[in-house]
Chain A
Amino acid sequence: MSGGEISSRTLQIFFLIIGRRLTGRMAAVDDLQFEEFGNAATSLTANPDATTVNIEDPGETPKHQPGSPRGSGREEDDELLGNDDSDKTELLAGQKKSSPFWTFEYYQTFFDVDTYQVFDRIKGSLLPIPGKNFVRLYIRSNPDLYGPFWICATLVFAIAISGNLSNFLIHLGEKTYHYVPEFRKVSIAATIIYAYAWLVPLALWGFLMWRNSKVMNIVSYSFLEIVCVYGYSLFIYIPTAILWIIPQKAVRWILVMIALGISGSLLAMTFWPAVREDNRRVALATIVTIVLLHMLLSVGCLAYFFDAPEMDHLPTTTATPNQTVAAAKSS
């Protein structure tokens, strides 16, 4: 046997070891002839069909392999290398999303997070440090849908319940005020927040894809990563909504500023690398639009769900035009 054949055989076994460890598939092995390598080969193959693999007699092993015996070593090398290369490329490219989208397992890949990972992502969203990209640091390997969905659900109920409570406390002394827990507002809040958390990322993703086709950007995000960033950036609004119960206008606006500052900076720092190489104006306009939409969401929620605190001294009849004025002021 020549040196070239020895080295190619060694290469085969090397790839086999890797392939077996990574994929566990033994399809490529069945086609191999291992007559020259007694112990190593048979211990590697572990062919389930071969019930009596006799180590002392290497000449018998080809009999138990179901594949047709190959001729010389060269085609086997190519085929084996080809098989393993395709194994490895398939592994490295998209191993997580390999199920078709109509199976349950496909959606399970989006919930493949542990408790500590979710907590880490939430902490990362609360402390945006310049220079640390949220997506690269926390999500790049594994965007999840658990965080966005349940943070939005919690936010919906937090806003609805806090709005209800604050209105109740504001109008507490009035005799003419009849407390109604307004459950219709829950559905309105749900529509607004879920639309924001899903449609704005969709629009942003479409926009970024379009710009990517024109200008080559180094950083590009998938749709799920954008949804993830938006979902986790809404987390700061949950304590903000609870603190909005305090019926002081100044306190509420300070809270709006703080929350907007934190989540807006998180979004801006995440998306700046994605538009940086673009035309200066387009990049700035994108970032400004992102922050503006975020501000619109928070101010709109504050105006719609929380009555203005000065109303408690006025009788209910004049409260209605003032409320419409307040709503018009902030829209």
Chain B
Amino acid sequence: MAEAEESPGDPGTASPRPLFAGLSDISISQDIPVEGEITIPMRSRIREFDSSTLNESVRNTIMRDLKAVGKKFMHVLYPRKSNTLLRDWDLWGPLILCVTLAFTTYILQIFRMLQRDSADSEKDGGPQFAEVFVIVWFGAVTITLNSKLLGGNISFFQSLCVLGYCILPLTVAMLICRLVLLADPGPVNFMVRLFVVIVMFAWSIVASTAFLADSQPPNRRALAVYPVFLFYFVISWMILTFTPQ
């Protein structure tokens, strides 16, 4: 039993009483209610809304998720060291970006087929929709596994979330490249595209490193960051080269 500073068996002094001495005097009488509900000082109607999001309108759900995705896009575009991307991870953003990337290659492919108006689409060696999708998702999964095997303390889906969101600059680069290619092709055109892709590649690396580097012990940080570099390099290469000539 916890005693105050005095030694046990010292009945003389009256000043520091033992701590729980009066506990035995308390008895729970029948008229003190010990059950009931704990209410927070708010209107009870709100409690019903908090308990389930099933009852809200679809528009509310979609807007809430879209706002979360948009907020994370902002975090990627201005990479600061914040935990939002890691804490409330979601995979909507990566899915949207990956589908955008893959779908644009599909549109380009169709466009090229229509332009050439020939049946030799088999010789078209550009990336198919499935190739882009597979490279992005399997690349992200491999990097996440690598990071976890090296001993990082980031969870699987958090890492997927960060890697997927940091494709955003490269998606922007691809849309810019597509627009630039509407002008006449030439070396200047290529230089502009190269510059844009390099800048966006660096942006992706910086953004993802800002989130992922802290999860590794410092003696293995380079080992965990290099696969991310390789991943974004391959995606940049795909973006730079698959635009039609």
Contact = CB atoms under 8 A, between A and B. Distances in A.
Contacts of B219: 114-116
Given A164-B241, A179-B245, A181-B241, A115 B126 contact: no
B4 interface: no
B75 interface: no
23 contacts: A108-B149, A111-B150, A111-B151, A113-B220, A114-B219, A114-B223, A118-B223, A146-B149, A146-B150, A153-B227, A157-B230, A157-B234, A161-B237, A179-B245, A180-B123, A180-B124, A180-B125, A181-B125, A181-B126, A181-B241, A183-B126, A183-B131, A184-B125
Interface string A168-209: 000000000011111110000000000000000000000000
B153 interface: no
A167 B222 CA distance: 33
A272 interface: no
Nearest to A181: B241
Interface of A: 104, 107-108, 110-116, 118, 146, 149-150, 153-154, 157, 161, 164, 178-184
Interface string B202-245: 00000000000000000111110011001001100110011001
Interface of B: 123-128, 131, 146, 148-151, 219-223, 226-227, 230, 233-234, 237-238, 241-242, 245
Contacts of B242: 181
A181 B105 CA distance: 13
B151 A108 contact: yes
Nearest to B233: A157
A146 B146 contact: yes
A208 to B, nearest CB: 28
B234 A182 contact: no
The 9 A-B pairs with the shortest beta carbon distances in the complex, nearest first, are A180-B125, A182-B125, A181-B241, A111-B149, A114-B219, A115-B222, A183-B127, A111-B150, A115-B223
Contacts of B151: 108, 111-112
A82 B124 CA distance: 71
Interface SS, A side: helix
Nearest to A187: B131
A111 B216 CA distance: 13
For A112, A118, A146, the residue with the greatest tally of chain B CB atoms inside 10 Å of its CB is A146
A123 to B, nearest CB: 15
B159 to A, nearest CB: 15
Contact of A150 (B123, B127, B226, B233): B226
Contacts of B131: 183
Contacts of A116: 219
Contacts of A184: 125
Contacts of B245: 178-179
Contact of B220 (A114, A150, A181): A114
A161 B240 CA distance: 12
Nearest to A149: B146
Given A150-B226, A157-B234, A180-B123, 15 more contacts: A108-B149, A108-B151, A113-B223, A114-B219, A115-B221, A116-B219, A146-B150, A146-B223, A153-B227, A153-B230, A161-B237, A164-B241, A181-B127, A183-B126, A183-B127
Contacts of A112: 151
B126 A180 contact: yes
A286 B220 CA distance: 37
B109 to A, nearest CB: 11
Contacts of A164: 241
A114 to B, nearest CB: 4
Contacts of B146: 111, 146, 149-150
A25 to B, nearest CB: 24
Contacts of A115: 219-223
Contacts of A111: 146, 149-151
Nearest to A154: B230
B213 to A, nearest CB: 13
Given A114-B219, A150-B226, A164-B241, A183 B234 contact: no
B123 to A, nearest CB: 7
B10 to A, nearest CB: 21
Nearest to A116: B219
B18 to A, nearest CB: 20
Contacts of B149: 104, 107-108, 110-111, 146
A63 B104 CA distance: 77
Nearest to A168: B241
